[in-house]
């Protein structure tokens, strides 16, 4: 998924790796792509040591930690390293919200984590929280994308249309239109939307859930192949991948690692409940089902 951060930022939700947020300008995002994630982490850790209450630094460091975690699991198949950096990432995002409960970026990243884990209901709740804190057009495209993955293309289209009326940029809107067409088995329309993105907004098709693709997809079938081979995308498009004779890659984790991931989630929720019990006026849902 490309999910977008509310600036514009999902994967077209503007995917975290293709986006910019607090602490990052488009230029710094380019440096993140080109440089070592470990070097970025060390630099941000030094900034955090100098200013431990700086929310932007916490969010930026949480993002880098999550990119390291995802690389560890997706590419290196290293559960221990994945869990270690996932824990660091969650700690930064939760601490950022303890410092500034109105910050929407931590909710964005926590929702991306939920989507990667396969918990689309929690991801939807998270993106609804982002919308409450910052009702930007991109918040609507993020919600639309999650509805595609939940197998609800009509609801996805409704949210995508709302995003258009609120002034969303064409890239994430077109990305969602491509996914909706694919979900509805309209491959001709999916290819047409892909070609629009390749021509006008190629970055939208270079990332799947914070993982940069090894090369630019040259066709819709190329993109579909990457999606189906990604544990962050393929499991949500099982039937569609099968129709293209593409195998789906599932997340492969031990039961122990899954339990540790669950423990991290539960601890984060415990801390966030405490934050938002004191800030009820923000109407942030930590466990309640989303309204849409």
| Residue 191 in tokens | 């290819």
Question: Is residue 292 situated within a structural domain?
Answer: no
| Domain carrying residue 143 | 1-18+139-252
Question: Is residue 122 situated within a structural domain?
Answer: no
Q: Are residues 149 and 212 in the same domain?
A: yes
**β strands within 42-181, DSSP E:** none
Q: Mind listing the pLDDT tens digit of every residue in the chain (292 residues)?
A: 566 554 333 333 333 333 333 332 223 333 344 348 999 999 999 999 999 999 999 999 999 999 999 989 988 899 999 999 999 999 999 999 999 999 999 999 999 999 999 999 999 999 999 999 999 999 999 999 999 999 999 999 999 999 999 999 999 999 999 999 999 999 999 999 999 999 999 999 998 876 788 899 999 999 999 999 998 899 999 999 999 999 999 988 999 999 999 999 999 999 999 999 999 999 999 986 655 5
Question: Is residue 131 situated within a structural domain?
Answer: no
Q: Are residues 86 and 183 in the same domain?
A: no
Q: Are residues 36 and 62 in the same domain?
A: yes
CA pair distance 291, 286, nearest whole angstrom: 13
Question: Is residue 116 situated within a structural domain?
Answer: no
Question: Is residue 125 situated within a structural domain?
Answer: no
Question: Is residue 218 situated within a structural domain?
Answer: yes
Q: Are residues 209 and 261 in the same domain?
A: no
Question: pTM of the entire structure?
Answer: 0.86
What pLDDT sits at residue 30? 37
What pLDDT sits at residue 141? 94
Q: Are residues 234 and 146 in the same domain?
A: yes
Q: Are residues 148 and 246 in the same domain?
A: yes
Q: Are residues 52 and 38 in the same domain?
A: yes
Nearest to 98 by CA among 259, 275, 287, 292: 275
Note whether 199 and 174 are within 8 A (CB).
no
Cα-Cα-Cα-Cα dihedral sign, residues 224, 181, 163, 151: negative
The owner of tokens 């940069």 is 212
CA pair distance 224, 48, nearest whole angstrom: 40
User: Looking at the 3D structure of the chain, how many domains does it have?
Assistant: 2
| Residue 197 in tokens | 């993105």
Which three-class secondary structure string do you get for 140-164? HHHHHHHHHHCCCHHHHHHHHHHHH
Q: Are residues 182 and 226 in the same domain?
A: yes
Q: Are residues 162 and 69 in the same domain?
A: no
Q: Are residues 144 and 242 in the same domain?
A: yes
Question: Is residue 290 situated within a structural domain?
Answer: no
Question: Is residue 41 situated within a structural domain?
Answer: yes
Q: Are residues 35 and 79 in the same domain?
A: yes
Q: Are residues 235 and 271 in the same domain?
A: no
């Amino acid at each position: 998924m490309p999910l977008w951060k509310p600036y514009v930022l999902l994967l077209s939700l503007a995917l975290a790796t293709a986006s910019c947020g607090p602490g990052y300008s488009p230029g710094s995002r380019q440096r993140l792509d080109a440089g070592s994630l470990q070097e970025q982490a060390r630099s941000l850790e030094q900034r955090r040591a100098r200013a431990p209450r700086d929310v932007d630094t916490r969010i930026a460091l949480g993002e880098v930690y999550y990119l390291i975690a995802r690389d560890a699991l997706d590419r290196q198949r290293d559960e221990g390293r994945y869990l270690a950096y996932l824990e660091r990432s969650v700690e930064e995002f939760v601490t950022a919200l303890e410092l500034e409960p109105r910050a929407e970026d931590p909710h964005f990243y926590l929702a991306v984590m939920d989507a990667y884990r396969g918990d689309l209901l929690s991801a939807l709740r998270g993106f609804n929280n982002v919308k409450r804190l910052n009702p930007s057009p991109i918040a609507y495209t993020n919600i639309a994308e999650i509805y595609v993955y939940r197998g609800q293309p009509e609801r996805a289209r409704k949210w995508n249309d709302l995003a258009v009326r609120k002034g969303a940029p064409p890239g994430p809107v077109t990305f969602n239109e491509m996914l909706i067409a694919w979900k509805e088995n309209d491959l001709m329309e999916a290819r047409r939307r892909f070609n629009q993105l390749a021509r006008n907004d190629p970055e939208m098709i270079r990332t799947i859930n914070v993982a940069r693709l090894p090369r630019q997809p040259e066709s819709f079938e190329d993109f579909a192949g990457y999606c189906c081979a990604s544990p962050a995308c393929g499991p949500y498009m099982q039937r569609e991948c099968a129709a293209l004779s593409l195998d789906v890659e599932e997340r492969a984790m031990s039961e122990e690692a899954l339990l540790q991931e669950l423990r991290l989630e539960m601890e984060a929720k415990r801390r966030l409940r405490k934050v938002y019990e004191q800030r009820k006026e923000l109407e942030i849902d930590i466990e309640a089902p989303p309204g849409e």
